[in-house]
Structure 1
Amino acid sequence: MGSPLGVLFAQAYMCHVENSVLSSINPSPKMYLRYVDDIFVDVDGDEQLENLKRALEENSCLRFTIEKSVENKIPFLDVWVDGSDGTFTTDVYRKPSDSGRCLNGMSECPSKYKKSVVRAYVARAFKICSSWSLLHQELNRIKQILTNNGFPLKDIDNEIKTKMDLVNTTALDESSKFNNINLYYQNTMSSGYKKDEKVLKEIIKKNCTPTKEGDKLNLIIYYRNPRTSSLIMKNNLAAQKDKLKQSNVVYKYTCNFNKDGALCTDEYIGYTTQTLSQRLTYHMQNGAIKSHMTKSHKNNISREHLNTNTIIIARNGNTTKLKCMEAVMIRNYMPLINIQQNMCGTLELYGSRVAGWKG
């Protein structure tokens, strides 16, 4: 339990058991369905059911319990199977202990996680409910559960409408003719996760193209919680030695690009509340440094060049003070790359961040 391979091991073991039991037992079940170790069977009577149970236990180290249908009705996982009228109907099943709680719609987490909660509820209803009346009943129950957990009713209705339109659409989706290539990226949850996602998607869009025309590239970002060690105060108050892992810093980049025997000494000063490594990754995609390298030297900027020629010149955990420190450093150093970029009108005047001072 808890291991990523747990389900795989369980599946392999149950397949081994079934190969021994189902090939030897007579008569065999009319219907035999299994999910991991939960089995749904249709047999002729209690005696055949007991024989099957005994055979499964004799050929394994497992112990099985039996739950029989009542009036031809029985739950199997999250499906309520009803065969009381001579035909089978299915509906969503919830245990009596289910309190209707889920991820709260007002919690601080990526918005796509909240959307996936609504989508999962709606998709399950459409998949399991075998009639429109049962589906309508389940969708009303979903609305009540999700609104109780802080989800806007508008978001729920939009997801239901999207799913309904998809069901009613008979034309083939053109994108289904091509492959969807998924790229997975693990990130650490922070208040600036939306900005991170935007930059990562821009990086993939600019630098990655499927080899087959028509294939679609999807970046799927999932999150992990910060490590406990990053949430507590450490006894060692020494500054982090690796500059690329430091955050809340003011940094200075010096071009140092040698062209035609002349060394370029143009500088750029900026601040970041993220790690310096992340900030330099953004500079590789767009901004003043990349623009300077392209226009002045007709060359592409490399990560090794950025790492080597960037130093940290100030630190402060307060974002407002950090911005002020950046503006003061720009005033003192007068970095040409900042000034050139301001002249192009793509950045605000660097002195405007400090009240009462004019550049």
Structure 2
Amino acid sequence: MGSPVGPIVVNLCMESFEQQALQSYPGVKPRLWLRFVDDTFVIIERTELEGFFQHINKLNDNIKFTQEWCKDDTLAFLDCLISVKNDGSLTSKVYNKPTHTDHYLQFGSHHPLIHKLGVIRTLQYRADTTINESELIPEEKDHIKESLKNCGYPNWTFLKANKSRKDQKQSDGGGKPNKARVTIPYIAGLSERVKKHLKTFGISSSFKPNNTLRGKLVQVKDNNLKKNAQT
């Protein structure tokens, strides 16, 4: 846990486990098996549910699955709500847990504007890619706009976010490569000017928090231990 190589090793192990589980199952194999980290979405015959569930839980003592069945023809998977229509086809829309509060990064917080515009673009992109019935997308985007307005986002930020997204699509592949990339601490008003100045030299820059609550409140090592080690 916490190691950069951790997710890679886990995925390699799970890919090996999946191949073994699916190839060794003696019954009718799942029609669909999708996985993201530790969540799986499976379509399988009802008569095979219990047998397959027991099978995958016997293969490795360290890997145990739980299951959640489709209820009322719907099932939540990650941030998608999958529904089965009468004709057997699937539809999807954005899913939020019952505990979701619609609270996002506050516009008045000490973060770069690009991060706040990124919140808008990310939520809108999720709506565009998750919802497969186009007539439902405007409703979700209206919900996003109302939620972010409650977080202090003015109307101009939505126009700017959409313009930036459009400009980025048009410029993809057409710009000159950067000579270098640097990360600089974020100080409102100053860091933006430094970023603009570096750009004239072909240097791309990104921001990182300067002061964080974790940095102020959390100390991994005891200061007394540090002093004793120095003496």
- Shorter-normalised TM range: 0.7 to 0.9
Question: How far, CA to CA, are the matches of 1:21 and 1:53 in structure 2?
Answer: 10
Quick one: structure 1 residues 157 and 226, their matched pair in 2 at CA, closer, same or farther if it must change by over 3 Å?
closer
Deviates more, 1:49-58 or 1:103-112: 49-58
Structure 1: unaligned runs, 5 residues or longer: 168-172, 206-218, 233-359
Q: Which has the higher contact order (CA 8 A, sep 6+)?
A: 2
Question: How far, CA to CA, are the matches of 2:128 and 2:90 in structure 1?
Answer: 16
Q: Is the 8 A contact 2:118 2:161 kept in 1?
A: no
Q: Is the 8 A contact 2:34 2:40 kept in 1?
A: yes
Question: How far, CA to CA, are the matches of 2:165 and 2:202 in structure 1?
Answer: 29
Q: Is the 8 A contact 1:122 1:160 kept in 2?
A: no
Secondary structure in 2 matching 1:150: coil
Instruction: Report how far residue 13 of structure 1 moved.
Output: 1.4
Quick one: structure 1 residues 153 and 178, their matched pair in 2 at CA, closer, same or farther if it must change by over 3 Å?
closer
Q: 2:187 aligns with which of 169, 187, 190?
A: 190
Match of 1:111 in 2: 113
Question: How far, CA to CA, are the matches of 1:190 and 1:10 in structure 2?
Answer: 37
Question: How far, CA to CA, are the matches of 1:120 and 1:51 in structure 2?
Answer: 40
Quick one: structure 1 residues 114 and 177, their matched pair in 2 at CA, closer, same or farther if it must change by over 3 Å?
closer
Amino acid at match of 1:69: C
Secondary structure in 2 matching 1:22: helix
Secondary structure in 2 matching 1:54: helix
Question: How far, CA to CA, are the matches of 1:150 and 1:174 in structure 2?
Answer: 30
Question: How far, CA to CA, are the matches of 1:48 and 1:200 in structure 2?
Answer: 61
Secondary structure in 2 matching 1:74: strand
Instruction: Report how far residue 50 of structure 1 moved.
Output: 2.4
1:225 aligns with 2:210: yes
Structure 2: unaligned runs, 5 residues or longer: 218-231
1:69 aligns with 2:70: yes
1:35 aligns with 2:25: no
Q: Is the 8 A contact 1:33 1:39 kept in 2?
A: yes
Question: How far, CA to CA, are the matches of 1:227 and 1:81 in structure 2?
Answer: 38
Q: Is the 8 A contact 1:82 1:89 kept in 2?
A: yes
Match of 2:133 in 1: 131
Deviation by residue 1:48-101 (Cα, 9 ceiling, x = unmatched): 222222222222212211111112211110011111332211101000000111
Match of 1:201 in 2: 199
Q: How many residues are treated as equivalent by the alignment? A: 212
Deviation by residue 1:286-315 (Cα, 9 ceiling, x = unmatched): xxxxxxxxxxxxxxxxxxxxxxxxxxxxxx
Amino acid at match of 1:185: V
Q: Is the 8 A contact 2:106 2:152 kept in 1?
A: yes
Question: How far, CA to CA, are the matches of 1:80 and 1:100 in structure 2?
Answer: 17
Q: 2:96 aligns with which of 78, 94, 97?
A: 94
Instruction: Report how far residue 220 of structure 1 moved.
Output: 4.6
Q: Is the 8 A contact 1:182 1:220 kept in 2?
A: no
Quick one: structure 1 residues 12 and 180, their matched pair in 2 at CA, closer, same or farther if it must change by over 3 Å?
farther
Question: How far, CA to CA, are the matches of 2:179 and 2:8 in structure 1?
Answer: 22
Rg larger for? 1
Q: TM-score, normalised by structure 1?
A: 0.53
- Coordinate RMSD, CA, aligned: 3.0
Quick one: structure 1 residues 134 and 164, their matched pair in 2 at CA, closer, same or farther if it must change by over 3 Å?
farther
Q: Percent identity, aligned pairs only?
A: 25
Match of 1:59 in 2: 59
Q: 1:122 aligns with which of 116, 120, 124?
A: 124
1:1-359 superposed matches below 5 A: 1-25=1-25, 26-45=27-46, 47-60=47-60, 61-86=62-87, 87-160=89-162, 175-176=172-173, 184-191=181-188, 192-204=190-202, 219-226=204-211
